[in-house]
Chain A
Amino acid sequence: MTDPLAAWRGNPFFVLGVSTQASRAEVERAGQKLLGLLALGSASARHYDTPFGPATRDADSVRQALATLRDPNERVVHELLANIAPGAAGKHTDHPGAAWKGAEHALGWSGRWAE
């Protein structure tokens, strides 16, 4: 099952943990700090928060994020996509039309499929 928001969670601003108004120096500084922490093997540096829930980062994605934000056109594109009004998350499971996660177990397909 595809995770529809995976690409959105990988927005460079979320990955680096900076605001869309940050200056170039701040972006580079944050990136360099994260690369250092990841090189040290810090576990807390691997997780970050997005409006759609938590995600994980690694050195490659931090580097990619830094490179993307260096190009002004790309940066503005990602700024627009990172600016989301609050309240975007958390509306999933309450909806009546949400998935019936226990379907397989309940109906005898005991769910021992190789995932």
Chain B
Amino acid sequence: MKPRPLYVGIDLGTSNSTAAVFDGEELTVVRNGQGSVLTPSVVRIDGRGNVLVGARARRFLETDPANTRGEFKRLMGTTHTLEFPASGAIRRPEELAADVLKSLRQDVADQLGVAPQRAVVSVPALFELHQTAATSDAARCAGFERVELIQEPVASAIAAGWTRESGNGPWLVYDLGGGTFDVSLLETQEGLLRVVGHDGDNFLGGRDFDRALVDVVIAKLAADGVVIDRADPRHAVALRRLRLAAEEAKIELTRAAEAPIFLAGLDLLGQSVDVDVIVTRSEYESLIAPIVDRSLDICARLLAANGLGKDALERVVLVGGPTVTPFLRERIRAVLGLGFGEGLDPMTLVAQGAALFAGTVALDGRPSGPATRQVGDAAGPKVWLQFPAMTSDLSPFVVGKPLDRSGSVKKVKIDRADGEWHSDPTPCEADGTFAIMVRLLPRQNTSFNVSGELADGRTVALDPPQFSITHGTTLGEPPLSRSVGVALADNRVQIYFNRGSPLPIRRTFVLRTVETVNPDSAGHALKVPIVQGEFTLAHLCRLVGTLEIPASALTAALPAGADVEVMLELDRGGQLRARARIASIDQVFDQVALLVTPQVPLAAMDDALAKLRVRAADLSRSAFHGRSGKAAARLSAALPRLEDAQRNIAAARGGDLDAGEQARRELSDFDALLAEVEADQAWPELGQEIEESFAIAVSWVAGHGSEAEKSTLNNAYRACKSAFVGKDADEVQRQLGVIRRLGSAAYLRHPGAWDREFEYCAARVAESTDIRRATELVANGQEAIRKQDSAKLEQIVRALWQLNPVDRDDQKLGHGSGLRSR
């Protein structure tokens, strides 16, 4: 009897990890060596180099924090490295994740007797490319030959849909984990499960509850005169102990109305302090209420983005440890007005869903070696079958192809194991394939027997002689969580893959170079930056990789406007491949560097924060003057975010790496908000600019312009106004350029104009690009004024204009991109 398939699903969480196994009929959650279903995602490397994973390592989190690390999930894909001083080891977060996965793999082997070769691992829905790539790497390091990734909300929905009849309305999956919050909107229609929208926050989780509790304790201690400072690295040890105690108190508060926090001998700069504080449930609830409300705001945002009201939801699925908090459940019930599914364990739901997904894609974890033949096995002609292991379609197709070259199998027949249904003998097509539509039994696993008819009419069983299909929800390909594209030189983004596109996916666009690239100019390179994000301005999106074409690698000079074909490809695991082909010199480049986000140094963040403050102040002022109340209101509502960011930067200075990442996120969100407000202001301002430029130009042209110029000016003004009404920004700028040029041409015919221009340029000699030459020209100019030589003065002023500093800021903004769109 062929052993049942082994579909393995793993939930790699921030604080805890779980593994689950599905064999086609039954779903089991795997218990680890300590008998628990949850394995803490903590790794310890002791002085001798031994690696400890799980609960045993977690015990040392308090006593030996330097060598015990947890919560490295958020750091995956970044360049942070973690040091273990006792053994001198330096590990990347992916390697620690690999250790956790190894331990889970061993647990499966212990429980079921075989170490799985393939598995499905869950990732948060909003994980970016470098983070998913790091997860795949970690799984491969752990010994898995092949790994598929699934988004956590999708996994939860599959698990929640498996045990109950599902209706036809949309579901909301509310996943509050230790470190991340994800909310997803899923739709099941005619048995097809579709992810309609994601939203969430990579930096909102149970840890924030802990932090809130710690804040309470710190406040209470401060009242007693004991000061613990978050930003002080010397207090880090004490803070950690407090955090662990807070976690336990938090769990206690789900059952009791109050919880004591008692820590003896807390070491504070040599002082030994005893902490004995009682936290009541109401205090705790009032603390976490803003956090919960933040999560509910995100839910509301997601619903609004998909045009749904709260009442449109059919079900809410809760996932994650912190969701057992009764207060949270009450709030959700109050706001969304829905009950939750019963009998679902929020802590292991994701792993169960991952295992079920493994069943859908037929990712059998059993090593595929030579199948041991037992006595009595029919060794019939081999046939290669393709069918969905799980589908919502009651009549799916089973296609196949006999593998023997002799062509002995002429017809193929499939019978249902219960004998109730038979297919007609189907002949093979010219290319050897056959397609048979089978009928499934609803909502269960159906087995089928395959037999073939030979040329001489004999019937033989084929190899494999049987297969089975489960009827349940179908899931489409994993969708992309964030849009991916190439940043362009004018700070726009050429979007390649929209959010929600199915993976794997590949697209090619033809872009053009912005400047001439000479092979002789050493060190110069043509950069193709690849970014991920929903913003239309490139500098706000996150850089996930750069394809660099060094000038020295070109065989010939590449003029501006040359075609460059850029191809981006994403596979199911989120691995990115990029390739650039330059047709005119027939060269191909595909070295993508930097698939890891660089660390933003703290000093740069302080700088950015200061600049944002200034910009925000300016914008508020102009909003006030312009009487645009909406913009002013938005700005003032968003200012507290800057304070949050400031606090996070301070905490990062104290050694909290997560806070640093969060600060970076907050700063770029605020930047995006400012850009949006600026853009809103800019359009009416542009209208004013048109009027002003026209007024100036008309005054000069009336005095010094010809008739033809006057009529040209009027035509240009009319075209400009119609373009403004039609909201065509490019055309407005173009016509504005015509108006300005006509105006300045007329102005320069004024007798004193060149003199005035000369004085203006002479005053700004210090800013020019070539100061020596500029001073020389100024001297010549003064000489020309003395001699009353206006033609020479004109020449000199034009030369001075050439030396004005060039505005290169735009190109820096587009991540230094050297390409533009067609």
Residues of A whose CB lies within 8 Å of any CB of B are 23-25, 28-29, 32-33, 35-37, 39-45, 60, 63-64, 66-67, 70
Contacts and interface: CB of A to CB of B under 8 A. Distances in A.
Interface in B345-403: 384, 386-388, 391-393, 395-401
Contact of A60 (B399, B429, B505): B505
B482 interface: no
10 contacts: A23-B190, A24-B189, A28-B393, A32-B388, A36-B386, A36-B435, A40-B401, A44-B430, A67-B477, A70-B192
Interface string B175-197: 00000000000000111101000
Contacts, number: 71
Interface of B: 189-192, 194, 384, 386-388, 391-393, 395-401, 429-433, 435, 437, 474, 476-477, 501-502, 504-506
A42 B506 CA distance: 22
Nearest to A72: B189
B502 A63 contact: yes
A105 to B, nearest CB: 26
Given A40-B401, A60-B506, A29 B189 contact: no
A29 B384 contact: no
A39 B361 CA distance: 14
Contacts of A67: 476-477, 501-502
Contacts of B476: 66-67, 70
B386 A39 contact: yes
Nearest to B429: A44
A33 B397 contact: yes
A70 B190 contact: no
Contacts of A64: 502, 505
A17 B433 CA distance: 18
A13 to B, nearest CB: 18
A39 B504 CA distance: 15
Given A28-B393, A36-B387, A63 B192 contact: no
Contacts of A35: 386
Chain A contact residues: over half helix, strand or loop, or mixed? helix
B454 to A, nearest CB: 21
A36 B397 contact: yes
Given A39-B386, A67-B476, A29 B504 contact: no
A36 B386 CA distance: 5
Contacts of B392: 25
A39 B395 CA distance: 20
A67 B393 CA distance: 17
A113 to B, nearest CB: 15
A42 B431 contact: yes
Contact of A44 (B190, B400, B431, B437): B431
A60 B567 CA distance: 15
Given A33-B399, A40-B401, A28 B433 contact: no
A40 B384 contact: yes
B190 A33 contact: no
A40 B433 contact: yes
B386 A40 contact: yes
Contacts of A36: 386-387, 397-399, 435
A45 B399 CA distance: 12
Nearest to A39: B386
Contacts of A37: 386, 399, 433, 435
B399 A40 contact: yes
B34 to A, nearest CB: 43
Contacts of B388: 32
Contacts of A63: 477, 502, 504
